[in-house]
Amino acid sequence: MTMMQKFLGAAATLALSTGAALADPAIIFDLGGKFDKSFNEAAFNGAERWAKETGGKYLEIELQSEAQREQALRRFAEVGANPIVTTGFAMSTPISEVAGDYPDTKFVTIDGYVDAPNVLTIGFTEHEGSFLVGMMAAMASKSNTVGFIGGMDVPLIRKFACGYAQGVKAANPDATVISNMTGTTPSAWNDPVKGGELTRAQISQGADVIYAAAGGTGVGVLQVAADEGILSIGVDSNQNHLHPGKVLTSMLKRVDVAVYNVMSAGDAMETGVITLGLAEKGVDYAMDENNKDLVTPEMQAAVEEAKAKIIAGEIKVQDYGADNACDVLSF
């Protein structure tokens, strides 16, 4: 088997050898892999839903290194995949360098930003969803101290942290929010051991509810929280099931819906910039049988009221991504 076959699979190799164009979409999963139980896995679930409902096929790759980013984009474009969906802000620069060379190919960046006529940028109001789970954390806390553990220290993750802290303070102005980031390199997304260490450190400071926005690293946060008898909050995918009765809720970031929608649109996909917020059901909090006994009717009523007010514009949640500042949390 050639390296090209290993990279793209037999169908793509056939297209290369015959000159035929694949009408199939492709998806590039960011570092951490498609089974990270978080961001990438949400994207995978959206692609799988599209494939099952339509009978279609898609090409895919799980990145193993930074060097593969541009290489993956070019190889998928060369075999005619369309659209090419990417996950993670780190794909922005590679797409900006590649998109102009393939004007007939449509590219999608989820969480990044690229200003090009054949690129769709999809963003989310993570700060709004994080505000809601922050309220829940404050209301569930018995120690009046809650925690946040992010992955790579970048503005996007600070956006989660800032929204969370605002929600905590809205529900309990006297609460303390402890915040840590896992690291400053992409490895911060896939370090559950470090996530566990940070969780223990925050518990030692009194935190009894900890929100993890850290990709695969967050799995370690949720595990240690469950082992130590405190509550955790998941992110991106619904992670309530990972530790039933011990995960207070999960901040849903509907990457799965974004991927499903663009794959469904295919060649007709419109480019530009879209933002999915509470009103579009792009972010939310998770309720199911795994956390129903943890969330009181009073908690849910308060969060639903806040959600309605955010959608109506009556509550403004500060957006670190826009302001580059957070009035209620120091980094």
Report the 3 state secondary structure along 218-261: HHHHHHHHHHHCCEEEEEECCCHHHCCCCEEEEEEECHHHHHHH
Rounded to whole angstroms, the Cα distance separating 41 from 57 reads: 17
Q: Could you report the per-residue pLDDT of 146-172, keeping only the tens digit for each?
A: 999 999 999 999 999 999 999 999 999
Rounded to whole angstroms, the Cα distance separating 205 from 176 reads: 10
Indicate if 14 and 70 belong to the same structural domain.
yes
| Counted domains in the chain | 2
> Which residues does 21 contact at the CB level (< 8 Å), separation at least 6?
15, 79, 80
Asked if residue 175 has pLDDT above 70, the reply is yes
Asked if residue 51 has pLDDT above 70, the reply is yes
Q: Which residue has the higher pLDDT, 281 or 21?
A: 281
Indicate if 97 and 132 belong to the same structural domain.
no
Rounded to whole angstroms, the Cα distance separating 184 from 324 reads: 17
pLDDT of residue 37: 85
pLDDT of residue 127: 98
Asked if residue 195 belongs to a domain, the reply is yes
Structure-token pair, residue 131: 């505000």
User: Span 101-114, mean pLDDT?
Assistant: 96
Structure-token pair, residue 195: 């996530």
Asked if residue 8 has pLDDT above 70, the reply is no
Asked if residue 12 has pLDDT above 70, the reply is no
Place of tokens 């949400």: 42
Q: Are 210 and 225 in contact (CB under 8 A)?
A: yes
Asked if residue 9 belongs to a domain, the reply is yes
Indicate if 141 and 69 belong to the same structural domain.
no
Indicate if 19 and 68 belong to the same structural domain.
yes
Classified as helix, coil or strand, 102 is coil
Q: How many C-beta neighbours within 10 Å does residue 100 have?
A: 12
Residue range(s) defining the domain that contains residue 201 = 126-252+296-323
Classified as helix, coil or strand, 326 is coil
Asked if residue 289 belongs to a domain, the reply is no
Q: What percent of the chain has pLDDT over 90?
A: 86
Span of 30-34, 46-50, 316-320 with lowest mean pLDDT: 30-34
Asked if residue 19 has pLDDT above 60, the reply is no
User: Span 84-98, mean pLDDT?
Assistant: 96
Asked if residue 283 belongs to a domain, the reply is no
Q: Are 211 and 147 in contact (CB under 8 A)?
A: yes
User: Of 161, 180, 175, 169, whose CA–CA distance to 206 is shortest?
Assistant: 175
Q: Are 134 and 165 in contact (CB under 8 A)?
A: yes
Asked if residue 4 has pLDDT above 90, the reply is no
Asked if residue 208 belongs to a domain, the reply is yes
How sure is the predictor about 11, in pLDDT bands with cuts at 50, 70 and 90?
A: very low
Q: Could you report the per-residue pLDDT of 216-248, keeping only the tens digit for each?
A: 999 999 999 999 999 999 999 999 999 999 999
pLDDT of residue 304: 98
Identify the DSSP state of 21.
P
Indicate if 155 and 54 belong to the same structural domain.
no
* Amino acid identity, position 9: G
Q: Facing residues of 312 across strands?
A: none
Asked if residue 116 belongs to a domain, the reply is yes
Q: Facing residues of 109 across strands?
A: 86, 121
Rounded to whole angstroms, the Cα distance separating 1 from 13 reads: 11
Classified as helix, coil or strand, 267 is helix
pLDDT of residue 70: 96
Indicate if 175 and 197 belong to the same structural domain.
yes
Indicate if 182 and 314 belong to the same structural domain.
yes
Q: How high is the mean pLDDT of the chain?
A: 92
Q: Facing residues of 98 across strands?
A: none
User: Span 105-120, mean pLDDT?
Assistant: 96
Indicate if 147 and 87 belong to the same structural domain.
no
Indicate if 46 and 136 belong to the same structural domain.
no
> Which residues does 213 contact at the CB level (< 8 Å), separation at least 6?
126, 130, 148, 149, 150, 151, 157, 160, 161, 235, 251
Indicate if 160 and 230 belong to the same structural domain.
yes
Indicate if 192 and 260 belong to the same structural domain.
no
Rounded to whole angstroms, the Cα distance separating 29 from 235 reads: 17
Asked if residue 286 belongs to a domain, the reply is no
Q: Could you report the per-residue pLDDT of 289-328, keeping only the tens digit for each?
A: 999 999 999 999 999 999 999 999 999 999 998 999 999 9
How sure is the predictor about 263, in pLDDT bands with cuts at 50, 70 and 90?
A: very high
Residue 330 class from Cβ within 10 Å (0-12 exposed, 13-18 middle, 19+ buried)? exposed
Model pTM? 0.87
Dmax over CA atoms of the chain, in Å, equals 67
Indicate if 201 and 244 belong to the same structural domain.
yes
Asked if residue 243 belongs to a domain, the reply is yes
What CATH number does residue 8 fall under? 3.40.50.2300
pLDDT of residue 38: 86
